[in-house]
Amino acid sequence: MRRTIATLSAALALGAAVAPARADSAGPAIAAGIGGFALGAITGGALANSGPPVVYAPAPVYVAPPPVCWVERRPVFDEYGEVIGSRPRRVCE
């Protein structure tokens, strides 16, 4: 939409600048002035009512989940392989 409005306004401005101007008639100059004012109002209104600019979010970055940990009671062995008690140990996957 903006490109169309910009192209149209440039074409009308170029047409008004190239049109032959004569000193004895002010009609075309007044018409060109009114047309330029109207085109400026339309362009300004279209640009003012346009939506917010499009902002692209960056690509997501993979983050590994934290390890899952818990506390278990593990047996404690003596030098002969006999269980003599237990001790809490942190276990993580």
Digit-coded pLDDT (tens) for 32-47: 778 888 778 787 777 7
Residue whose pair of structure tokens reads 């276990």 in the numeric block: 91
Asked if residue 55 is part of any domain, the answer here is no
Structurally, the chain folds into a number of domains equal to 1
Q: Given a cut of 90, is residue 56 above it in pLDDT?
A: no
SS3 state of residue 92: strand
* Confidence band of 12 (pLDDT split at 50, 70, 90): low
Asked if residue 13 is part of any domain, the answer here is yes
Within the chain, residue ranges assigned H as helices are 2-18, 27-48
48 phi and psi, to 5 degrees?
A: -75, -30
- Residue 73 pLDDT: 95
Q: Given a cut of 60, is residue 51 above it in pLDDT?
A: yes
Q: Given a cut of 80, is residue 25 above it in pLDDT?
A: no
Positive or negative torsion for Cα 19, 23, 27, 32: positive
Asked if residue 63 is part of any domain, the answer here is no
Asked if residue 40 is part of any domain, the answer here is yes
Structural domain boundaries enclosing 40: 2-48
Asked if residue 57 is part of any domain, the answer here is no
Asked if residue 59 is part of any domain, the answer here is no
Asked if residue 15 is part of any domain, the answer here is yes
Residue whose pair of structure tokens reads 């392989």 in the numeric block: 81
